[in-house]
Amino acid sequence: MAEADHGHRCGRTDETMTNFILRRLGQSIILLLIMSVLVFAGMYVISDPVAVMAGEDATEADRQALARSFGLDQPLPIQYLTFLGKIVQGDFGTSFVYGRPVLALIFERLPATLEVVFLAILVGLAVGIPLGIYSGLNRKKAPTKVISFGTTVGYSIPNFWQALLFILVFAVWLRVLPASGRGPTTEIFGVGWSVFNAEGLRYVILPAANLAVALICMQTRLARSGTQEVMYQDYMMFARAKGIARSRLIGRHLLRNILIPIVTITGLELGTLIAFSTVTETVFSWPGIGKLLLDSIYRSDRPVVVAYMILATLMFVLINLVADIIYAILDPRIRYS
Amino acid sequence: MMAPLLAIEDLSIAYQLGDGRDAEAISGFSLHLERGRIVGIVGQSGAGKSTIGKAILGLMGDNARITGGTIALDGTDITRFSEARFAAIRGKRIGYIYQNPMTALNPVLSIGEQLIEAIEANTTRRGGDARAYAVELLKSAEVTHAEERLAKYPHQLSGGLCQRIVFAIAIAAQPDLIIADEPTTALDVTVQKAVLATLKKLAREKQISIVLITHDMGVVAQMCDGVSVLWRGRLVEHGPTAQVIGAPRERYTRDLMAAIPTVDHKRARFDVLDSFEDTPGRRRGIAFLKSGIAAGRDGQSLLSIRNLSKTFDAQGGRGTSGGFRALDGVAFEVFAGETLGIVGESGSGKSTIGRAILGLVEPDAGASIAFQGRPIAEMRGRRDRVALSRSLQCIFQDPYSSLNPRMNAGTNITYGIVAQGLVSRAEAKVLAQDLLEVVGLPRAAAGKMPHAFSGGERQRIGIARALAFRPELIFCDEPTSALDVTVQAEILNLMKELQETLGLTLVFVSHDLAVVRQMCDRVIVMRAGRMVEEGNADEVLTAPRETYTRDLLAAMPRIAFEDA
């Protein structure tokens, strides 16, 4: 009985999520190590920090003393291990400009970025997916053509120009929303958030909308192409033939399948936005980490830049891990292979 | 007299083409089906069989519409039904069984969810009650371990099991009618037989009528009370199964029957029209092939395989002795000028043998594959490799994906030999045209792109491409299983023709015993990676020694030919 045997061959269905997550974490650690080598190389090998710190009129003895005090007289591998050891202990060094621990500096600015980015992502998904499914299902209807045109335009507008346009329309002409800065914050778990009070929310809207436009366009396109592909699959016709409700056909059979690519892209996009929303944060003078990065590059505040790069990598790794886990939850073919 | 359950009268369906014109897909089709009966609709692909099935369910695409006639279900014409009214009868009154069970089920939803949603949509059962009923349905569809299967996903189950689950979904609301569109085409013969028996049992027990759409006359003979033969959208002939199969009245039905290979006797040629004209180009092509394919070495061992095993690592199974043994101690010889058949069900390892010979999988240690006396494991240098790939060619199963869609037919045929420097670019052009004539296509076909050809024509191009190398041995991997029976007959005739003219050596892999019987001198029967039986094709396929071979033969749907 070939059929019965097959069932047993696939009996190892308990190759569990835990295993999968552990395997992925292992890979992530390797990736982080590689990144730390690159950042270390960038920081200590390509340029000479002693020369920068000591200035032009320092004597040779001054330089040696300086090098010794920063451990720069040690062989390279030892220096790398020291650098790594400090990072593992959470010590990313001290900012040249602010004279404070870099980590505290970044975490202080992080909530401002997070609230704008998450709001934008939520709006992007909540608006983009329904629009995309609608236009995928009704290819010939007029609204689809409008949506299609709108996404093309929205995707092509340069981010900074769109931001200026928003300020012009909503802050200057209509005077309904503030043009820049972050409004009052509400303390939740010791962190200040401005999305949780009405006045603060008014300040979040424009920067979040500026990020959301491109996201909506992208999600619409992903959902539309997914819908067009999935609707022609045999299982969609078979599901219709079963006589199930249309809401179930769309909400379950279609959505589950189109979410798979959307999750992957959203994960990547989330990381990029958190780490590199520098344009939006600059135009709206939004005190997030993107603006911190830009300021630090201007002022050659290298400890901040280095810590930023490593944390960004760590964040990308974690977001990817979460995306992969969601992916595996959505697609049993990944989960059980 | 009670009205029949399903009465199709003078049905016509047209597809709208890109330029706004209509192309008639079905014209004037009629069918009557009584309660509890099974009627077959047969015909080649493109004949419009599936279109009729979809029209009954209101599942035709946006570009198709009914241009005339009626489809009455219990006296009610459903051709003008709205989507909502169709939704009300789908699943409840009409069940649907789809061609490929692996693609009919949603890959990301569990079996249980897909079965239970059908139950909840079409019956009054909810929650735990629906779940209990789902288990009951799976049991009546003869699904083993019914309870456990609910938590599985389609990719974890075999095709046969998936099809049984599709059955369970189709019968969930005890419909009056089931449309079964090629329900067993994707399955192995032994599985096919069991699955069809289950379908017939369900229909009898629950008094369900079935419209069985198929291209396989054997399935019709096994299942149907009556049969309608469809050709290019028109009803050619209909009547009781025994009459249509036993004494077909129409020319087309007779041709269709003549094209069916049987395992019981071997025919020199199928009785279909072949289009070989003795043109100068064709003669030149054959002379080219003959001069390169060393004939006259009949009986000499060409390929010798000893102790061929292949174990695929079970994923994640590190540290265990497990792993999937795809091949286990296979040994055989291929002699020049013969056709060796390798038969077996899917998973028996027959394709893996081919991949090992072509060097696409690395066999386990201890295996020896020698070509013309030299172990191919030693042929590692570039010159050896090129010589080997010239000598060993392959004809693939799927004529749609095995040609490069961005090259025209002529380039598809010759790019390999040009790349190997066997012919110059200038010679290649004429050669491609000659070879097209050798395989029965016009010279002008060389300039057309693959998508402009039918499946059978593409397979001819694939054959021409393999021949162009003038190989010592051609490995044919299910070369006709994707083709219609009449097209299959044409291709088999062509291969027999070439075999005789050129003295080709073929290794012919197929799941179809009847095809193997028509083509092969010797045959190897594979099961789960092992050779079960080996011998003269006539003997093995008429008087098998092994039980497994007998089971395989018994599982084949057969048609009682008067002359057999």
What count of CB pairs under 8 Å joins A to B?
123
> Distance of CA B334 to CAs A145, B338, B379, Å?
62, 7, 19
Contact A3 B144 (CB under 8 A): yes
The per-residue pLDDT string of chain A (337 residues; one tens digit each, 9 = 90 and over) reads 334 433 333 333 345 677 777 887 888 888 888 888 887 777 665 556 666 666 677 788 888 887 787 677 788 788 888 878 888 888 888 887 788 898 899 988 999 999 999 999 999 999 999 999 999 999 889 999 999 999 999 989 998 999 999 999 999 999 999 988 888 888 887 788 888 888 889 999 999 999 999 999 999 999 999 999 999 888 999 999 999 999 999 999 999 999 988 998 898 899 889 988 889 999 999 999 998 988 887 777 777 888 888 888 888 888 888 888 888 888 888 776 5
Nearest to A241 among B90, B148, B345 (CB): B90
What confidence score (pLDDT) does residue A225 get?
94
> What is the SS3 assignment for B467?
helix
Percentage of residues in chain B having pLDDT higher than 90: 43
Nearest chain A residue to B528, by CA? A2
Residue B561 has pLDDT above 60, yes or no: no
What confidence score (pLDDT) does residue A239 get?
94
B158 or A206: which leads in pLDDT: A206
* Cβ count near B378 (within 10 Å): 9
Q: Residue B157 in contact with residue B111, Cβ under 8 Å?
A: yes
* Cβ count near A146 (within 10 Å): 11
Contact A2 B104 (CB under 8 A): no
Kindly report, residue by residue over B420-447, the tens digit of the pLDDT.
888 898 899 999 999 999 998 889 899 9
Residue B301 has pLDDT above 90, yes or no: no
Residue B19 has pLDDT above 80, yes or no: no
Closest CA of chain B from A217, distance in Å = 26
Collect all residues from A whose CB is shorter than 8 A from any CB in B.
1-4, 6-7, 9-10, 12-13, 15, 19, 233-246, 248, 252-253, 256-257, 260, 330-333, 336-337
What confidence score (pLDDT) does residue A86 get?
85
* Interface with B, mutate which of A1, A3, A15, A250 (most B CBs under 10 A): A3
Exposure b/e, A17-40, CB count within 10 A at least 16 = b: eeebeeeeeeebeeeeeebbeebb
What confidence score (pLDDT) does residue B416 get?
92
Residue B563 has pLDDT above 70, yes or no: no
Nearest chain B residue to A139, by CA? B62
Residue B295 has pLDDT above 80, yes or no: no
Contact A243 B108 (CB under 8 A): no
Residue B432, C-beta contacts closer than 8 angstroms, at least 6 positions apart? B409, B410, B411, B413, B414, B446, B464, B468
Give contacts of B104 with chain A, Cβ < 8 Å: 234-235, 238
Can you tell me the mean pLDDT for B380-401?
A: 86
> What is the SS3 assignment for B7?
strand
A10 or B305: which leads in pLDDT: B305
- Token pair belonging to B441: 């296509």
Give contacts of B99 with chain A, Cβ < 8 Å: 234
Can you tell me the mean pLDDT for B301-309?
A: 92
Q: Residue A269 in contact with residue A219, Cβ under 8 Å?
A: no
Q: Name the one residue in this structure whose structure tokens are 């500096």.
A: A105
CA dihedral for B171, B175, B180, B181, sign (positive or negative): negative
Nearest chain B residue to A238, by CA? B104
Q: Residue B38 in contact with residue B224, Cβ under 8 Å?
A: yes
Contact A332 B158 (CB under 8 A): no
Closest CA of chain A from B239, distance in Å = 29
Give contacts of A139 with chain B, Cβ < 8 Å: none
Can you tell me the mean pLDDT for B250-261?
A: 86
CATH of A102-335, one of 1.20.120.140, 3.40.50.970, 1.10.3720.10, 3.40.50.720: 1.10.3720.10
Q: Which residues pair with B103 in a beta bridge?
A: none
Q: How far apart are CA A147 and CA A152, in angstroms?
A: 9
Amino acid code (one letter) for B389: S
Instruction: Tell me whether 0.85 is exceeded by the ipTM.
Output: no
Q: Residue B529 in contact with residue B326, Cβ under 8 Å?
A: yes
> What is the SS3 assignment for B479?
coil
> Distance of CA B492 to CAs B271, B495, B522, B537, Å?
11, 5, 17, 16
Q: Residue B484 in contact with residue B270, Cβ under 8 Å?
A: no
What confidence score (pLDDT) does residue B296 get?
53
Please return the burial class of B551, using the count of CB atoms within 10 Å of its CB with bins 0-12, 13-18 and 19+. Answer: middle
Q: How far apart are CA B63 and CA B49, in angstroms?
A: 17
Taking the domains of chain A in order of start, what are their residue ranges?
102-335
For chain B, domains (ranges, CATH) are 6-258 (3.40.50.300), 280-314+322-555 (3.40.50.300)
